[in-house]
């Protein structure tokens, strides 16, 4: 089963960027303002005058995930770098990566440090010593499931798990995902493995909770060899593998895609979304796109959708968010690009695997960004799907123009019908930075529809970096 994408452009005038919108065919953008909109403003009740700062020392690092816990508290997860002299990095893991330490910091709902967690609000740990956070989710019991990526050497061994070879230094690496559970007091759960880490398949993994268990979707692709696949496993909260899931504890993709996202639906079913990236970023083949599979709770093909749904788009796609809506539809949102196009997209699929009538054009909505003096470029944006099926994108559009790399903030919003919401932001677009100081990326919309924006000072190598989390309220400019 396939969906074909058609691109229809609608000119938007009077903007600093020459932008175009598409996705509704002959339909026109929704002119009706949504109730309750107010200009975005810093929420001064959060942290210190609206912001929380985290210093990552001694050599920088990053915050990879910001989660809202069931009780309204916030969890920041990431890593800090312990050294920059790669030759001094000891141990069995790859010496090309500097040593790191994983961390979790818990905040109260108002942004103040929760000193009852870990050591005065902070927990730190290592898996093998050169680790980063790949994904994390808040579980229903108040704990956190996370994926730590561990770097190891492969020394010229070609592997379908992402080995990268450094010909000059004669070293290589591959990244191994490990499932961990962070308890409510900041300790790592070691009840399923003495190390506190359960090895997963592939090179990266995405998590979701389903019926009191954790589903781990791992990408097992080898792009250089043109091999794309994913593996889905099911685990108890402590990481213990459920051998009764699928065949011998795993389900393997029927699509030739990476594993992009996994979600549970209200019918005890499972949706898996895959995306394939072409080796050629300039001219991806027409068949490159999304592939959706619907499974039963035990990992078999779902009776309502026994075959995967192919959505060829001819673009290299990034999946930003996936949500199963109250009516059973699944909505996928993200960005895509090739040498001539940079766009935001959303795909709506019915519970039986059919494109949704009345959403965009044949179930696909797109918005193409372009500039007056160039085409293509790259639209890097976060995507957030609301409970009603509206989609919010915030990010930056970058293009080559006048001999230089140019960038511009760009936010937009689709209605639940897949139309550009012209009332949002005044003209359908947001072309100013989220923060008055510039920069900043939207990392979370909390249960009260407030925005959490993350910014980094971009410190030089071999120096601490400062990550700032700012909370905004309001819904448009």
Under DSSP, the state recorded for 460 is P
How far separated are the first and last CA of the chain, in Å rounded? 41
- The backbone torsions φ and ψ at residue 283, rounded to the nearest 5 degrees and listed phi first, read -135, 80
φ, ψ for residue 339, nearest 5 deg: -75, -20
Determine contact, residues 132/64, Cβ cutoff 8 Å.
yes
Number of H helices, E strands in the chain: 0, 32
Return the percentage of the chain with pLDDT > 70, whole number: 80
Long-range contacts of 151-160 (CB under 8 A, 24+ apart): 151/93, 151/94, 151/96, 151/97, 151/175, 151/176, 152/92, 152/93, 152/94, 152/128, 152/176, 153/92, 153/93, 153/94, 153/95, 158/225, 159/222, 160/220, 160/221, 160/222, 160/225, 160/227
Residue 460: band (very low, low, confident or very high) from pLDDT cuts 50, 70, 90? low
pLDDT band at 13 (very low <50, low <70, confident <90, very high): very low
State mean pLDDT over 116-126. 97
Given this model, what pLDDT does residue 153 score? Answer: 62
pTM: 0.87
Tens digits of residue pLDDT in 370-424: 766 665 688 999 999 999 999 999 999 988 777 778 888 999 999 999 999 998 8
Whole-angstrom Cα distance, residue 355 to residue 2?
Answer: 9
**Cα angle for residues 63, 414, 426 (degrees, 5° grid):** 95
What is residue 464's predicted lDDT score, i.e. its pLDDT? 87
- When pLDDT is cut at 50, 70 and 90, the band that residue 1 belongs to is low
- Specify the range with the lowest mean pLDDT, choosing from 277-281, 331-335, 428-432: 277-281
pLDDT tens digits for range 15-65: 233 333 333 333 334 333 344 457 789 999 999 999 999 999 888 899 999
Stated length of the chain: 477
Listed in sequence order, the residues at least 6 apart from 116 whose beta carbon sits closer than 8 Å to its beta carbon are: 185
Q: How confident is the model at residue 97 (pLDDT cuts 50, 70, 90)?
A: low
Of 292-306, 332-346, 462-476, highest mean pLDDT = 292-306
Average pLDDT, the chain: 84
- Nearest partner of 360 among 10, 1, 32, judged by Cα: 10
DSSP helix/strand/coil, 102: strand
With vertex at residue 204, the alpha carbon angle to CA 180 and CA 324, rounded to the nearest 5 degrees, is 85
Lowest-pLDDT choice from 50-54, 72-76, 282-286: 282-286
What pLDDT is recorded for position 53? 96
Specify the pLDDT at position 333.
98
Judged against a pLDDT cut of 90, whether residue 117 lies above it is answered with yes
Residue 389, helix vs strand vs coil: coil
User: Given this model, what pLDDT does residue 425 score?
Assistant: 78
CA dist 113 and 183 (Å) reads 17
Q: Rounded to an integer, what distance in angstroms lies between the CA atom of residue 89 and that of residue 87?
A: 6
Q: Answer whether 286's CB lies under 8 Å from 314's CB.
A: yes
Model confidence over 244-277: pLDDT tens digits? 999 999 999 998 889 999 999 988 899 999 997 7
* Residue 7: pLDDT band with limits 50, 70, 90: very low
Query: CA 469, CA 472: separation in Å to the nearest integer?
Result: 10
What pLDDT digit, counting tens, does each position of 199-242 carry?
A: 998 888 999 999 999 999 999 876 656 678 899 999 999 999 99
Pick from 280-284, 303-307, 311-315, 444-448: least confident: 280-284
Residue 476: pLDDT over 80: no
Q: What is the pLDDT of residues 133-176, one digit of tens each?
A: 999 999 999 999 999 998 766 554 445 445 555 555 545 566 78
pLDDT-based confidence at residue 303 (cuts at 50, 70, 90): very high
Structure confidence at residue 235 (pLDDT): 97
């Amino acid at each position: 089963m396939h969906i074909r994408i058609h691109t229809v452009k609608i000119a938007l005038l009077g903007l600093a960027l020459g932008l175009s919108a598409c996705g509704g065919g002959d339909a026109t953008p929704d002119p009706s303002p949504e109730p309750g909109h107010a200009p975005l403003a810093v929420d001064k009740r959060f942290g210190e005058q609206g912001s929380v700062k985290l210093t990552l020392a001694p050599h920088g690092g990053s915050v990879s995930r910001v989660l809202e816990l069931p009780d309204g508290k916030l969890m920041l997860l990431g890593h800090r770098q312990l050294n920059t002299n790669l030759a001094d990095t000891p141990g069995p893991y790859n010496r090309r990566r500097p040593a790191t330490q994983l961390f979790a910091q818990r905040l109260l709902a108002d942004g103040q440090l929760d000193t009852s967690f870990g050591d005065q609000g902070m927990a730190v740990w290592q898996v093998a010593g050169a680790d980063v956070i790949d994904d994390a989710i808040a579980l229903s019991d108040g704990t956190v499931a996370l994926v730590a990526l561990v770097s190891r050497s492969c020394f010229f061994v070609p592997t379908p798990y992402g080995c990268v070879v450094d010909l000059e230094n004669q070293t290589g690496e591959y990244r191994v995902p490990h499932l961990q559970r962070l308890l409510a007091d900041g300790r790592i759960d070691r009840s399923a493995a003495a190390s506190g880490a359960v090895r997963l398949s592939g090179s990266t993994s995405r998590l979701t909770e389903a019926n009191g268990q954790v589903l781990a979707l791992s990408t097992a692709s080898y792009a250089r060899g043109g091999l794309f696949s994913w593996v889905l496993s099911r685990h108890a909260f402590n990481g213990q593998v459920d051998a009764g899931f699928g065949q011998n504890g795993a389900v393997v993709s029927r699509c030739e895609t990476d594993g992009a996202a996994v979600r549970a639906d209200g019918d005890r079913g499972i949706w898996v979304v895959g995306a394939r990236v072409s080796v050629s970023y300039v001219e991806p083949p027409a068949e490159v796109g999304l592939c959706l599979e619907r499974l039963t709770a035990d990992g078999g093909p779902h009776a309502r959708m026994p075959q995967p749904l192919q959505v060829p788009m001819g673009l290299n796609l990034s999946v930003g968010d996936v949500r199963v809506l109250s009516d059973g539809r699944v909505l996928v949102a993200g960005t895509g690009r090739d040498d001539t196009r940079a766009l935001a997209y959303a795909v709506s699929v019915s519970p039986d695997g059919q494109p949704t009538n009345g959403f965009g054009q044949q179930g696909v909505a797109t918005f193409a960004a372009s500039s007056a003096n160039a085409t293509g470029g790259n639209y890097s944006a976060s995507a957030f799907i609301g409970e009603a099926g509206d989609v919010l994108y915030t990010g930056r559009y970058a293009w080559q123009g006048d001999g230089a790399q140019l960038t511009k903030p760009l936010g937009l919003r689709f209605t639940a019908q897949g139309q550009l919401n012209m009332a949002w932001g005044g003209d359908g677009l947001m072309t100013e930075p989220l923060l008055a100081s510039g920069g900043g990326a939207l990392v979370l919309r909390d249960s009260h529809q407030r925005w959490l924006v993350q910014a980094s000072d971009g410190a030089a190598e071999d120096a601490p970096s400062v990550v700032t989390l700012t909370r905004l309220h309001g819904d448009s400019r």
